[in-house]
């Protein structure tokens, strides 16, 4: 990695993991790495790290010279101040985990550094933001796209890693990169699940014991939908009914949607003739759960 530049803070003696707080510091380090011909893999996160995040780190370590993780709970992608306040935060623990994974740098800016009072630029993907979670989280994907675009300019990654768990977010980033000809490869990584199937999420720590038990029903409902397609069901309305009924019967999850969508455009499908995305979201207690599964045409 060469000498540690003076503007970074090596936080551990045995391994100089850089902790950067200021956008321009991050960019300066990224430029020096780019000049020295090192490839950077980048994982944007909101922290409270779990095995899902670490699978992305692992993929980046395997595919690049250097790995940068950002930890930034982005206020621009929360619709309510309460949800933002309640989001689990644990920077000290996250840094220890990332040091253990030999990540070269962590970028953890304050909100005001990323979005000062006079910030006004938006990045909006009209169609892709209109489906699935879009109507339930107005402004959310604008906040996501803006922060990811800004982070790309600060970290200058050759590759950036995103989880399929947040499938709509992944599609929005892929499309933004395509539309704006950004020079970064987006690598999609499979959803990492708990033993019972629940998709890992930082928000799961906010579930009570009973809510945690019921939360897995969202994934089970998607599984029922997938099974029906594999049995030959082609009518999306029938699949949605199966998924909704599973959630209502076996849990107290308040469903926002259970949808059958085109995996690229995210448009709702009426008939399933090729690949499909089954996606669902709902609320239990204070926690919003989302999950999805893919059904490939060679399976159907």
User: Which residues does the annotation mark as catalytic?
Assistant: 53
User: Under DSSP, is residue 66 helix (H, G, I), strand (E, B) or coil?
Assistant: strand
Q: Which is nearer to ligand AMP, 198 or 260 (CB)?
A: 198
- CB of 160 vs ligand AMP, minimal distance in Å: 9
Q: Does 204 bind ligand AMP (CB under 6 A)?
A: no
**Nearest distance in Å: CB 72, ligand AMP:** 9
* Site of tokens 């101040």: 81
Contacts of 124 (CB under 8 A, 6+ apart): 141, 142, 145
Assign 75 to helix, strand or coil.
Answer: helix
Q: Name the minimum Å distance from CB 224 to ligand AMP.
A: 21
CA triple 14-18-23, angle to 5 deg:
175
Using CB under 6 A, which of 191, 220, 251, 292 touches ligand AMP?
191
Q: Using CB atoms, what's the residue nearest to ligand AMP?
A: 163
Nearer to ligand AMP, 33 or 162 (CB): 162
What residues from 132 to 171 belong to the interface with ligand AMP (CB under 6 A)? 162-163, 165-166
Among 20, 30, 40, 56, binds ligand AMP (CB under 6 A): 56
Residue 164: helix, strand or coil by DSSP?
A: helix
Q: Which residue from 17, 25, 55, 132 is in contact with ligand AMP, where contact means CB under 6 A?
A: 55
Does residue 291 bind ligand AMP (CB under 6 A)? no
Q: Out of 70, 168, 201, 251, point to the residue binding ligand AMP (CB under 6 A).
A: 201
> CA–CA separation, 184 vs 42, rounded Å?
10
94 belongs to the binding site for ligand AMP (CB under 6 A): no
Quote the tokens at residue 86: 């309640």
Asked if 202 interacts with ligand AMP (CB under 6 A), we say yes
Joined together, the tokens standing for residue 52 give 């899902």
Binding of ligand AMP by 189 (CB under 6 A): yes
Annotate 200-233 with DSSP letters as a single string. Answer: P-GGGGGS-HHHHHHHTHHHHHHHHHHHHHHTT-
Interaction between residue 77 and ligand AMP (CB under 6 A): no
SS3 annotation, 229-292: HHCCCCEHHHHHHHHHHHHHHHCCCEEEEEEEECCCCCCECCECCCCEEEEEEEEECCEEEEEE
Nearer to ligand AMP by C-beta: 30 or 199? 199
Does 200 interact with ligand AMP (rule: CB under 6 A)?
A: yes
Q: Are 216 and 196 in contact (CB under 8 A)?
A: yes
The binding site for ligand AMP (CB under 6 A) comprises: 45-46, 52-53, 55-56, 162-163, 165-166, 189, 191-192, 199-202
């Amino acid at each position: 990695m060469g000498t540690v530049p003076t503007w970074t803070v090596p936080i551990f003696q045995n391994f100089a993991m850089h902790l950067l707080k200021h956008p321009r510091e991050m960019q300066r380090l990224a430029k020096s790495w780019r000049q020295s011909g090192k490839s950077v893999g980048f994982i944007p996160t909101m922290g409270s790290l779990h095995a899902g995040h670490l699978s992305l780190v692992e993929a980046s370590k395997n595919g690049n010279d250097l790995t940068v993780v950002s930890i930034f709970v982005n206020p621009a992608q929360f619709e309510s101040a309460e949800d933002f306040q309640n989001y689990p935060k644990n920077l000290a623990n996250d840094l220890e985990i990332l040091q253990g994974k030999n990540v070269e740098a962590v970028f953890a800016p304050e909100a005001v550094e990323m979005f000062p009072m006079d910030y006004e630029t938006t990045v909006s993907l009209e169609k892709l933001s209109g489906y699935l979670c879009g109507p339930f989280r107005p402004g959310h994907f604008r906040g996501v796209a803006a922060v990811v675009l800004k982070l790309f300019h600060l970290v200058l990654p050759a590759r950036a890693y995103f989880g399929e768990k947040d499938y709509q977010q992944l599609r929005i980033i892929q499309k933004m990169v395509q539309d704006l000809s950004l020079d970064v490869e987006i690598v999609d990584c499979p959803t990492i699940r708990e033993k019972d199937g629940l998709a890992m999420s930082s928000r799961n720590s906010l579930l009570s014991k009973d809510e945690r038990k019921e939360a897995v029903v969202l994934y089970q409902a998607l599984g029922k939908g997938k099974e029906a397609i594999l049995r030959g069901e082609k009518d999306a309305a029938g699949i949605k009914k199966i998924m909704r009924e599973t959630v209502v019967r076996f849990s107290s999850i308040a469903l926002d949607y259970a949808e059958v969508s085109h995996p690229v455009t995210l448009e709702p499908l009426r008939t399933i003739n090729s690949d499909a995305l089954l996606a669902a979201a709902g609320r239990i207690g204070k926690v919003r759960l989302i999950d999805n599964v893919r059904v490939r045409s060679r399976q159907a």
